[in-house]
Amino acid sequence: MDKPINLLAQRTDCMLHYVEPAIADIPRAGWIGGNAPEFFDNPAHLLDLGGRTYLFYLSFVHPFQPGRMISIFIPEEYEEYLEHNMYPDCPIKVIEHPLSAESHIETYTNAGLRKHHITTGEPCTDDKSVERSFLIKVGGTPRLLQNETYYSAKLEEEAFSFFFQVDEDGYPDTLLQGDGSYLLGFGALYVYAHIGTKGIGHPVAGFWQFS
């Protein structure tokens, strides 16, 4: 565990994940679009919807905790998270849970996203990552669209640190289908977590920005 913790703390190296068409029987780090993980089929694990309707966005294997994965769900109504785009009020859900295969049930499926695989992480220096298009960047320094300190002020006050970002700049042309749109306004979601010597816990949607 020490190596990934140091990687996140030093902000000089990162891991990049990309998107590729979903091909059966080829193991990958996760998927974007398609159905939510089977984990959420269990009534005991249903989302706390808070009166909102949520759609599944993506799931990928936790980069530092074997046997765990992270799933992201976004409110169906754009205005609900447009007006609340920063912690602690951001309604986008980031959930850590045990490894789970994709469900056959379409409870949370977003018809505007065609399922694609998320590749395994590739090491990269933080400087070089600035020049690349990626779906997920783990560690390093967040690549911000608006470099304003107020976005992370509350997070830092509560001892959260940058964990990873999901960036729509990394979408392939084949990802959106039908009436599908850029859920983040061709922007990025920044996920923060409590990061310490004993591990990484409590990931949250820190904020999101659009271009």
- Phi and psi at 126, nearest 5°, equal -65, -40
The per-residue pLDDT for 197 is 77
**Which of 74, 22, 20 has its CA nearest to residue 185?**
74
- Please determine, for residue 195, whether its predicted confidence score (pLDDT) is greater than 80: yes
Judge whether 66 and 89 are in contact, CB under 8 Å: no
Domains and CATH numbers, the chain: 2-210 (2.30.320)
Q: Mean per-residue pLDDT for 23-40?
A: 88
- Whether the bond into 88 is cis, omega within 30 of 0: yes
The per-residue pLDDT for 7 is 52
The per-residue pLDDT for 8 is 67
Q: Mean per-residue pLDDT for 10-31?
A: 85
Lowest mean pLDDT across 37-51, 88-102, 155-169: 37-51
The per-residue pLDDT for 1 is 39
The per-residue pLDDT for 28 is 86
